[in-house]
Amino acid sequence: MTPQHQAGALFILGFDATRLDTELEMLVERWRPAGFILFRRNIESPRQLADLCHDLRRLYPESDPPLLCVDQEGGRVARLRRPFTELPSARLLGRHHARTGSLELIVRAAAITAAELTAVGINFNFAPVMDVDSNPANPVIGDRAFSHMPESVAEIGCCQIQAFQQQGLLACAKHFPGHGDTSSDSHVDLPLVVKDRTALDALELLPFRAAVRAGVAAIMTAHVLYPALDQIYPATLSQPILTGLLRDEMGFDGLIVTDNMEMQGVWGRWPADELVSRGLAAGCDLFIGGGGGLYGQQPQTHIQFSLMQALTEQIEQGRVSADRIQASLRRISAVKRRWLAPIESQTKAEALRRIGSAEHQQVADALADASTTSETINAIQTANSDRRG
């Protein structure tokens, strides 16, 4: 691999097109990125998205497909809108679980997400959010979290992880070690969580420990400072947090993925060269670029290319060891082999018929009412049983 390809292999890139074009083909040829993150600006329809994902895959060896990623949490953070099934926010899922004590519809909703994403060729979902909704003043998490109780976040999040991955869709627990108790947004600032280690263990870290035990494929870092864990660097750049805590103490052997490196929690606070060197030293396997913003509408910027070029130069100058690069590449390959489903031998029309079906919409409608009763759940189960029979 050339130094450029070695650097690119650790990046998930954004782009502005809705179809494969010469510029995108040249980007792949030059950088050979690990994959791409899709935003609303890339999506026009299920068929168009399926064509785009297919065309991106064919630029890579069949044995080593690109990671085609999206933020499809449900609620306000969902890149795929109608005619895809629009599922309610994590908060509503949590309220449903609190009222009914049932995970049945929540598991089915996660299975719907997995079915519709994989139908168009997406294989990596940056969900679930495992942050705890513990600060009412939080400007960015709020209804993206399942609950203010860490045990509930752990239970609901882990059932989503398992439902995604059983269908060959990689799951990503975020934002480690917890973005729920911040009063600022890492898109525009560097948030601070001032808690001692005992308090972090009891609240923020509990859901992530559960996600590790559940076998989550990836964990996304938070651009948040935790002085009890590292007084200088946010989690994304912190060796004590990512290697010491997540890898060594918690035993996580999957992918460590950064939150978007264009967010102002990191970008502009350290130069590109230091961001990639410290991120690698901390334990990151994949860096995310590509613009988008919280709602996925902003265009890509030069930032992702600045970061890749900085890493290329470090590789060329021997400032990054080949062993460190290979360690991340091995993890990426291992996760693909373990979790990614083979491309199904079905026609495109058959795959696209899954999207926004009446059965899927019935589950979404039931969950949208946070007071859904066990009788409603039973009625849906009975109707689906009759349909299958």
Instruction: Residue 34: name the closest of 376, 332, 260 by CA.
Output: 332
Q: Are 257 and 335 in contact (CB under 8 A)?
A: no
Q: Are 246 and 256 in contact (CB under 8 A)?
A: yes
- The encoded tokens of residue 23 equal 């510029």
Question: CA 150 to CA 284: how far, in whole Å?
Answer: 25
Given the DSSP bridges, would you call strands 35-38 and 67-70 parallel, antiparallel or unpaired? parallel
Question: CA 278 to CA 58: how far, in whole Å?
Answer: 33
Confidence (pTM)? 0.92
For each of the domains in the chain, give its residue range(s) and CATH number, in order of start: 3-384 (3.20.20.300)
- 5 included as an active-site residue: no
Q: Are 96 and 372 in contact (CB under 8 A)?
A: yes
H or E element in which residue 205 lies = helix 205-213
* Dihedral sign of CA atoms 166, 49, 284, 182 in order: negative
β-partners of residue 129 are 174
- 259 included as an active-site residue: yes
H or E element in which residue 170 lies = strand 170-176
Burial class of 253 by CB neighbour count within 10 A (0 to 12, 13 to 18, 19+): exposed
H or E element in which residue 183 lies = none
Alpha carbons within 13 A on the beta-carbon side of 11 = 29
Q: What is the pLDDT along the chain (389 residues), one digit of tens a residue?
A: 899 999 999 999 999 999 999 999 999 999 999 999 999 999 999 999 999 999 999 999 988 999 999 999 999 999 999 999 999 999 999 999 999 999 999 999 999 999 999 999 999 999 999 999 999 888 889 999 999 999 999 999 999 999 999 999 999 999 999 999 898 778 888 989 999 999 999 999 999 999 999 999 999 999 999 999 999 999 999 999 999 999 999 999 999 999 999 988 899 899 999 999 999 999 999 999 988 776 677 777 889 999 999 999 999 999 999 999 999 999 999 999 998 866 554 446 667 888 998 999 999 999 987 655 544 545 554 455 444 44
Give every CB contact of residue 103 below 8 A, 6+ residues apart in sequence.
Answer: 97, 155, 156, 159
* Dihedral sign of CA atoms 277, 282, 285, 291 in order: negative
Question: CA 185 to CA 188: how far, in whole Å?
Answer: 6
Describe the crossing of helices 358-368 and 374-388 by its angle, rounded to 10 degrees.
170
Burial class of 298 by CB neighbour count within 10 A (0 to 12, 13 to 18, 19+): middle
- The encoded tokens of residue 334 equal 């291992």
Give every CB contact of residue 249 below 8 A, 6+ residues apart in sequence.
Answer: none
- The encoded tokens of residue 173 equal 């627990």
Helices (H), 20-103: 22-31, 46-57, 90-100
Q: Are 134 and 113 in contact (CB under 8 A)?
A: no
Q: Is residue 254 classed as helix, strand or coil in its secondary structure? A: coil
Q: Could you say which of 54, 187, 201, 369 is catalytic?
A: 187
Q: Could you say which of 131, 133, 259, 285 is catalytic?
A: 259
Q: Are 349 and 177 in contact (CB under 8 A)?
A: no
Q: Are 310 and 5 in contact (CB under 8 A)?
A: no
Q: For residue 148, what pLDDT is reported?
A: 96
Helices (H), 218-321: 239, 272-282, 303-316
In single-letter form, the type of residue at position 285 comes to D
